[in-house]
Chain A
Amino acid sequence: MSISAAIEVKNLVKKYTDVAIPAVDNISFTIEKGSIFGLLGPNGAGKTTTISILCGLKKATSGEATILGLSLKKQISEIKQIIGVVPQEIALYPTLTAYENLRYIGNMYGLRGKNLTTKIQENLEVVGLASHANHRVETFSGGMKRRINLVAGILHTPKVLFLDEPTVGVDVQSRNLITEHLHLLNKQGCTIIYTSHLMEEAENLCSAIAVIDHGQIIASGEPKTVIKEHGSENLEQLFLKLTGKTLRD
């Protein structure tokens, strides 16, 4: 196990019952501490399954993974303390206010009292929602919901952050704010694992990428290096070259 590795995945396999082809087919990769790692792939490629396994939501059929040296199989409780997850859905309670949602999530991580209140206020200010703290989430615009969804994932200051398409369907300003904040978190030492269909965003944001298709990693490394290796001009061209132009459902 590398000391500099935030996540190490070895021969990870995930097979679903009644499905012949594995969703994740014997993949291995390493994510360095302090990196922003882009896990890219078309629909059904296996990226959400991989992230779900690493977050403890699903059990791997076989293989091993460690997060900051903690075994996924044996130390999932400890892992859950140090990871943060920003799901694709706005995983918040619409009838609760932004503050009430964040207070609940903070409590679930053991945060309480003044410490929690300060963290909520600070984070809401960073994402420009301080004045909406006492407004119900159901009244928020799409961009505001994405921003509060991000805050919910980072409130407890995780060491490793998983983001599943965090900027899907948001306005340019909100997307810019989110990516800026991700850069800031990364500078503070947080390792980020990120999935997206927005290749330009991934190219600008990620320090390392892996392209996954049919459950297998078909390319990985620094974005510029991988693009160059495959004779492409940008990440989008590389992506289409590797995964084809056939529509995926």
Chain B
Amino acid sequence: MLRLYSTIQKEMLILLRDKGGLIIMFIMPMAMITLMALIQDAPFRDYQELKIPLLMVNNDKGNLGSTIDSGLYQSKIFEITKLPLSRDEVKQKVKSGEFNIAIIIPENASDLLNSKVSHFVTKKLNEAGLSDSSEIDESKLAADLSLEILFSPDTKKSFKSSILSSLKQSTSKIETQTLLELFNKELKQSDNGGNEKMKDFVNFKEINTVETDEEVLKLNSVQHNVPAWTIFGMFFIVISMSGSIIKERDEGSYTRILTMPGSYITVLLGKISAYLLICLIQCVLMLMVGLYILPQMGLPVLIIGNSMIAVCVVAVSAGLAATGYGILVGTIFKTHQQASTFGAVSVVILAALGGIWVPVFVMPEYLRIMSEFSPLYWGLSAFHNLFLSGGNLSTILPHVFKLLAFCFINLGIAYFFNQKHHK
């Protein structure tokens, strides 16, 4: 125990005196969490929260213009500004970026729609022999009724199509309603039936998959970025740890330790314990950022779930995986430069695959398969399970086992590599 305690004490003293290392281990990940949570706040926010500036020029006095207007308002996506502008003025406002979208509803659009529908109904009834009206003017049926939609140049295709589809839904409803009213009128049915508003035959009911008795948890910028960059920061300890191993080897301390009584495994355990402690301090500090600092910046507060024990288990297993990897990198590489470059790049790759920057579900399928092999994905999935799905110790165990297995495999490889090179 004396050897173990003494090694932990020695490692902690060395770490605390390494100002550059402290910045890499604590300040950088905390800054990263804050920055990334702020940057990714908008893309993560729901469209309900994110109001898109829309310019509406409604030159129509009838129900088409008002229905579109109320439909857009009810969607809660847009911040609607109504102005009586010319097409050129509207174009200029969208081009300048003042508005992302503009809709121009032409003058007498409702009258034109009614006329088109009326002629269409009469034509169809004539064809069916239910009417013998001669008031069919084909030119009125062919008359152009176009709503003009102007998008800013940077509008995404998917967003354009969702707006168009939403508008199409509004206009279709009016078209159908007008059609029904005219059919009723022509067939001389009662006014009551004709005035009845058509209801949707198919409705959509949103059911949340989270069955907690608390509020429904959402994957927002904080819920994603805090656990993600916590795991990333913990794994970045690979640089300090591998550096420490290489430095010890270069300066001869490793040789001295090998000539001392007792097993080197005790020394290694001391090193792992010290760095694990650093990882846990990192984890606590980064969760504190999510709990106390980010809400001060207008971001949502981090919700860490119901099981603190499970959070601790994830933190310890992720810390062990990171330290195991650090020992392997420090054992395999000969120079600090090699180890720090490889360590940093490999952690960044594993982070990208593990869904640290963007959630795994938005990745292509082959990347999703690859992400299953990233220890950062296991750590992040375990945190997400606890923070988003109300998980507990039993639900995170598969991820925990994977992280621990990763640690032991790394230590095993490092041991055999070490044995081979020090025969």
Interface residues of A (CB under 8 A from B): 17, 55-59, 77, 80-81, 83, 85, 87-96, 100, 103-105, 107-110, 112, 152
Question: B10 at the A/B interface (Cβ < 8 Å)?
Answer: yes
Give the distance to chain A from B248, nearest Cβ to Cβ, in Å: 8
Assuming the A-B contacts A108-B3, A108-B261, A109-B260, are A94 and B10 also in contact, with contact meaning beta carbons closer than 8 angstroms in the complex? no
A108 B423 Cβ-Cβ under 8 A: no
A91 B2 Cβ-Cβ under 8 A: no
Assuming the A-B contacts A90-B251, A107-B2, are A100 and B260 also in contact, with contact meaning beta carbons closer than 8 angstroms in the complex? no
The residue on B at minimum CB distance from A94 is B251
A109 B423 Cβ-Cβ under 8 A: no
Q: Of residues A55, A87, A105, A107, which shows the largest number of chain B Cβ atoms within 10 Å of its Cβ?
A: A107
B251 A91 Cβ-Cβ under 8 A: yes
A59 B256 Cβ-Cβ under 8 A: no
Q: Which of B5, B18, B259, B262 contacts A55 (CB 8 A)?
A: B259
The residue on A at minimum CB distance from B260 is A108
Whole-angstrom CA separation of A17 from B148 in the bound complex = 80
Whole-angstrom CA separation of A93 from B5 in the bound complex = 17
List 6 additional contacts besides A77-B261, A91-B256, A109-B261; criterion CB under 8 Å: A57-B259, A87-B255, A89-B252, A93-B14, A108-B261, A110-B2
A104 B6 Cβ-Cβ under 8 A: yes
Q: Which of A57, A59, A81, A112 contacts B255 (CB 8 A)?
A: A57
Give the distance to chain A from B319, nearest Cβ to Cβ, in Å: 23
A105 B256 Cβ-Cβ under 8 A: yes
Question: B157 at the A/B interface (Cβ < 8 Å)?
Answer: no
Question: B156 at the A/B interface (Cβ < 8 Å)?
Answer: no
Assuming the A-B contacts A59-B423, A107-B3, A108-B3, are A93 and B259 also in contact, with contact meaning beta carbons closer than 8 angstroms in the complex? no
Total B residues in contact with A, Cβ cutoff 8 Å: 24
B252 A104 Cβ-Cβ under 8 A: no
Whole-angstrom CA separation of A59 from B420 in the bound complex = 11
Q: Which of B7, B259, B423 contacts A85 (CB 8 A)?
A: B259
The residue on B at minimum CB distance from A56 is B259
B260 A80 Cβ-Cβ under 8 A: yes
Q: Which of A88, A91, A95, A152 contacts B14 (CB 8 A)?
A: A95
Give the distance to chain A from B35, nearest Cβ to Cβ, in Å: 31
Question: B169 at the A/B interface (Cβ < 8 Å)?
Answer: no
- Per CB-CB distance, the 4 closest pairs between chain A and chain B, nearest first, are A89-B252, A91-B252, A107-B6, A91-B256
A85 B14 Cβ-Cβ under 8 A: no
B261 A91 Cβ-Cβ under 8 A: no
A108 to chain B: which residues have CB within 8 Å? 3, 6, 257, 260-262
B10 A96 Cβ-Cβ under 8 A: yes
Q: Which residues from 1 to 47 on chain B have a C-beta closer than 8 Å to any C-beta of chain A?
A: 2-3, 5-7, 9-10, 13-14, 17-18
B13 A57 Cβ-Cβ under 8 A: no
A96 to chain B: which residues have CB within 8 Å? 10, 13-14, 17
Whole-angstrom CA separation of A110 from B7 in the bound complex = 13
Whole-angstrom CA separation of A234 from B182 in the bound complex = 127
Assuming the A-B contacts A56-B259, A108-B261, A108-B262, are A91 and B6 also in contact, with contact meaning beta carbons closer than 8 angstroms in the complex? no
Give the distance to chain A from B253, nearest Cβ to Cβ, in Å: 5
B253 A91 Cβ-Cβ under 8 A: yes
Question: B422 at the A/B interface (Cβ < 8 Å)?
Answer: yes
A112 B2 Cβ-Cβ under 8 A: yes
Whole-angstrom CA separation of A91 from B13 in the bound complex = 17
Q: Which residues from 243 to 267 on chain B have a C-beta closer than 8 Å to any C-beta of chain A?
A: 251-253, 255-262
Whole-angstrom CA separation of A93 from B253 in the bound complex = 7
The residue on A at minimum CB distance from B6 is A107
The residue on A at minimum CB distance from B256 is A91
Q: Which of A57, A95, A107 contacts B18 (CB 8 A)?
A: A95
Whole-angstrom CA separation of A175 from B332 in the bound complex = 37
The contact string, 1 if C-beta is below 8 Å from chain A, for chain B 141-176, is: 000000000000000000000000000000000000
A93 to chain B: which residues have CB within 8 Å? 10, 14, 251, 253
B255 A58 Cβ-Cβ under 8 A: no
B257 to chain A: which residues have CB within 8 Å? 108
24 CB-based A-B contacts, threshold 8 Å = A55-B259, A57-B259, A57-B422, A58-B422, A59-B423, A77-B262, A80-B262, A85-B256, A87-B252, A89-B251, A89-B252, A90-B251, A91-B251, A91-B252, A95-B18, A96-B14, A104-B10, A107-B6, A108-B260, A109-B260, A109-B261, A110-B261, A112-B2, A152-B256
B255 to chain A: which residues have CB within 8 Å? 57, 85, 87, 89, 91
B6 to chain A: which residues have CB within 8 Å? 103-104, 107-108
A92 B259 Cβ-Cβ under 8 A: no
Whole-angstrom CA separation of A92 from B257 in the bound complex = 10
The residue on B at minimum CB distance from A82 is B261
Whole-angstrom CA separation of A17 from B3 in the bound complex = 34
B260 to chain A: which residues have CB within 8 Å? 80, 105, 108-109
The residue on B at minimum CB distance from A57 is B258
B17 to chain A: which residues have CB within 8 Å? 95-96
B7 to chain A: which residues have CB within 8 Å? 104
Give the distance to chain A from B400, nearest Cβ to Cβ, in Å: 33
Whole-angstrom CA separation of A57 from B249 in the bound complex = 13
The contact string, 1 if C-beta is below 8 Å from chain A, for chain B 178-194, is: 00000000000000000
The residue on B at minimum CB distance from A83 is B259
Whole-angstrom CA separation of A59 from B258 in the bound complex = 13
A57 to chain B: which residues have CB within 8 Å? 255, 258-259, 422
Whole-angstrom CA separation of A179 from B258 in the bound complex = 26
Q: Of residues B251, B252, B255, B260, which shows the largest number of chain A Cβ atoms within 10 Å of its Cβ?
A: B260
The residue on B at minimum CB distance from A89 is B252
Whole-angstrom CA separation of A57 from B256 in the bound complex = 9
Whole-angstrom CA separation of A104 from B2 in the bound complex = 10
A100 to chain B: which residues have CB within 8 Å? 10, 13
The residue on B at minimum CB distance from A112 is B2
